[in-house]
Amino acid sequence: MTNLADIPKVNAKNMTEKEFFYGHKACAGCGGSIAVRLALKVLGERTYTALPAGCMSAVGFIFPQMAFNTNAIITTFPGSASMASGIAVGAKALGQKDVKTVVFAGDGGTADIGFQALSGMIDRNDDVLYICYDNEAYMNTGIQKSGLTPYGTKTTTTPAGKNLPGTTTHKKNLFEIIAAHDIAYAATASIGYPQDYLNKVNKAKHIKGATFIHVYASCPTGWGIPIETSVEIAKDAVDCGLIFLAEFEDGEYKLNKNPKQFAPVKDYLKKQGRFKHMTDENIEVVIEHRDKKWSRMRKNWL
């Protein structure tokens, strides 16, 4: 097995100039498309790319205008992990060497409808890197709540009004749920910290078997933010502690970033149309949830 410490680093300077996801019809400022573009630059040409029904497939595969320069395929919505498993196992059975299969699926496609197949893929340890780009709602269908939509978010199925603050549940602990499978490698990332994300994709690329990256990817259209702040807001989410950067490897959790002090949650929330309606009381619920989570992570993962 490759010694992970010896893998050459990929960074903005030495990264390939080739584009593998190009000419697509994503909205301006789309964080999901940044996550796909960067990961494919790390993974390179010998990649099979599988995407379920969702934003990235909707903007990338409109016959006859195909936006992927790698092999790529749209899967069924619940079956991205199993179809990717089939690709990886088929490639192995055909004797293909030096191949990686990658999935790019959204938060709904991963934490909700695609979860069963993902669990099976990890159980079989098929040679697939599964990347969940999390924009915190079903964006392709027009901003509906998913299992990864955070508390207080206004979506088209969790309206904020006199009686409800928008979404009333917190995000599923997706990263820990995946880690609980005893997966060889899982990580969280944010397009606001691109070098960290590149490193994690690069590491996963060199691990044979099932790996998982949960990358936070902003959606200006769904979040109500200016398009030029897409990357900045994804950084803010980490800096205020609502999103954390971590890894799970060899059965151990590792916090990659453990800030002494968080940036104000309120500033992060109030920049976004989806949270504009939140009262100080609602924001307290978010902060309390964040603090509980961090005290647990700091206790167990450091």
Q: Contact positions toward other proteins, by CB under 8 A?
A: 45-46, 48, 50, 57-58, 60-64, 66-76, 78-79, 81-94, 96, 99, 116-117, 119-120, 123-124
Closest distance of CB 245 from other proteins, Å: 30
Closest distance of CB 300 from other proteins, Å: 29
End-to-end Cα spacing for the chain: 27
Closest distance of CB 131 from other proteins, Å: 17
Closest distance of CB 176 from other proteins, Å: 20
Query: With respect to other proteins, which residue has the nearer C-beta, 126 or 196?
Result: 126
Closest distance of CB 282 from other proteins, Å: 38
Query: With respect to other proteins, which residue has the nearer C-beta, 5 or 63?
Result: 63
Query: With respect to other proteins, which residue has the nearer C-beta, 30 or 103?
Result: 103
Closest distance of CB 19 from other proteins, Å: 14
Rounded CA-CA distance 20/68 in Å is 5
Query: With respect to other proteins, which residue has the nearer C-beta, 96 or 295?
Result: 96
Closest distance of CB 55 from other proteins, Å: 12
DSSP string, 180-191: TTT-SEEEEEET
Query: 214: which strand partners?
Result: 132, 188
| Other Cβ atoms closer than 10 A to 67 | 21
Query: With respect to other proteins, which residue has the nearer C-beta, 72 or 245?
Result: 72
Scan for tokens 């400022």, then name that residue. Answer: 29
Query: With respect to other proteins, which residue has the nearer C-beta, 78 or 222?
Result: 78
Q: Using CB atoms within 10 A of its CB, is residue 45 exposed (0-12), middle (13-18) or buried (19+)? A: exposed
Query: With respect to other proteins, which residue has the nearer C-beta, 81 or 179?
Result: 81
Rounded CA-CA distance 214/204 in Å is 12
The CA–CA distances, whole Å, from 76 to 105, 119, 153, 175, 227 equal: 11, 16, 27, 23, 30
Q: Burial letters for 20-37: b for 16+ Cβ neighbours within 10 Å, e otherwise?
A: bbeebebbebbbbbbbbb
Tokens of 33: 């498309």
29's CB contacts (< 8 A; 6+ apart) are 218, 220, 225, 226, 227, 228, 229, 230
